[in-house]
Structure 1
């Protein structure tokens, strides 16, 4: 039986509605802002920071990282987000600019980004780097892009502040895509219920007196979907240990 004109239109509208979110995302306009930079002896990002990434935060993405303004830091849920940033001076700035990962919180003179020296350097055309550094603050435009970590799954690292067995802090690393982890919970077998971890700061989630034995946890993605990871954390966990989830976020 052939389709009527109305049914054909309705079917076409359904296809458009399904594709619309991805189409909108791909065509998102750049947002105008300002950016500055902070220095370090090796031009990498700071080894400390409001996200809690420690050394990972200074070297991830080849050291092209950024501190973000409060509106992009999002009380910590913006940690790990990736952005395309490019400056707006035709005679000095490259067309592509730089791709940065948010690892810290910081604001300057009406800036949304405080870039590592390596990232700031990428804003410039060859031979124009010194000019941009002399400005100190530059006009930029940016948009969020999916993070990509080829060869890596999402991992949960036992934060260095953890103390076995009385205090457990976890931080997700190598988180791809554009999704945010908005909640983390641990299964209490003795109580037969999920117990929420606290967002201690940045991307760090913690819990005093965690359950004994291997730890099953689940996390919420962008406020909706829950992902469960059974017995992810070893019963003999220790600070600095990293656990592979065998999954990756879109």
Structure 2
């Protein structure tokens, strides 16, 4: 299953944003109401020698695999199961196509990203929405702040997935961002946008990463 359109984490074109096909949709038990969006995992097929290939894959969590409570069996994304719904090319790196679903061993790993953290501006001037992506290190975000050239740091609220918002009007100001990842590391991204930014899906490079 391929996730190239905006999903439950708010990401858009995964190829354009640098994630490619090395992604997965997480079951309810792993998704954590979107707080796990951006986290990275190493996955290995285990305990099924007739289906498993050797080696591991590394993926970024970019979507949600919804539960289906109408099915009594074989709905792998229902709680409390921990399930990764992989893109087909990634699945075929660890298991044979005919296997369908295989047991895996997984662990959280640091996200190795190329270039700086990116910030996509959405919403409108009165309801600014920001999607940070290409986040290295822990990958998933616990808190986010925004600062205009005329303001102090303003806490942002998690809207859904990896999208954060504020109702403070910041038009005409350069925007800086402060991100705290799930492992407690905080980094400031200063003057990421010009004062002429618009809420039309523009993306800006924060230049540095975790």
User: Are 1:130 and 2:97 an aligned pair?
Assistant: yes
The counterpart of 1:113, out of the listed 84, 92, 99, is 84
Cα distance 1:50–1:146, how it changes in 2: closer, same or farther (>3 A)? same
Cα distance 1:219–1:174, how it changes in 2: closer, same or farther (>3 A)? same
* Cα shift at 1:79: 0.8
2:196 matched residue in structure 1: 236
Asked which structure has the greater CA Rg, the reply is 1
Q: How many residue pairs are counted as aligned between the two chains?
A: 195
Cα distance 1:123–1:232, how it changes in 2: closer, same or farther (>3 A)? same
* Cα shift at 1:220: 2.0
Point out which structure has higher relative CO (alpha carbons under 8 A, 6+ apart).
2
Could you report, residue by residue, the CA deviation over 1:186-205 in whole angstroms, capped at 9, with x for unpaired residues? 23666x54321111101101
Structure 1 unmatched runs, 5+: 1-38
Using structure 2 for the length normalisation, give the TM-score.
0.80
The counterpart of 2:12, out of the listed 35, 48, 54, is 54
Per residue, is there more helix in 1 or in 2? 1
1:45, 1:64 within 8 Å by CA — same for their partners in 2?
no
2:3, 2:14 within 8 Å by CA — same for their partners in 1?
no
1:157, 1:240 within 8 Å by CA — same for their partners in 2?
yes
User: Are 1:177 and 2:163 an aligned pair?
Assistant: no
Could you report, residue by residue, the CA deviation over 1:164-213 in whole angstroms, capped at 9, with x for unpaired residues? x33321111111122532111123666x5432111110110112343232
* Cα shift at 1:69: 2.2
Cα distance 1:177–1:189, how it changes in 2: closer, same or farther (>3 A)? closer
Counterpart-to-counterpart distance in 2, 1:217 and 1:170 = 10
1:48, 1:57 within 8 Å by CA — same for their partners in 2?
no
Cα distance 1:94–1:58, how it changes in 2: closer, same or farther (>3 A)? farther
2:136, 2:209 within 8 Å by CA — same for their partners in 1?
yes
Cα distance 1:188–1:177, how it changes in 2: closer, same or farther (>3 A)? closer
2:159 matched residue in structure 1: 200
* Cα shift at 1:95: 1.5
User: Are 1:78 and 2:36 an aligned pair?
Assistant: yes
Root mean square deviation, CA, Å: 2.4
The counterpart of 1:149, out of the listed 98, 113, 118, is 113
Counterpart-to-counterpart distance in 1, 2:16 and 2:23 = 7
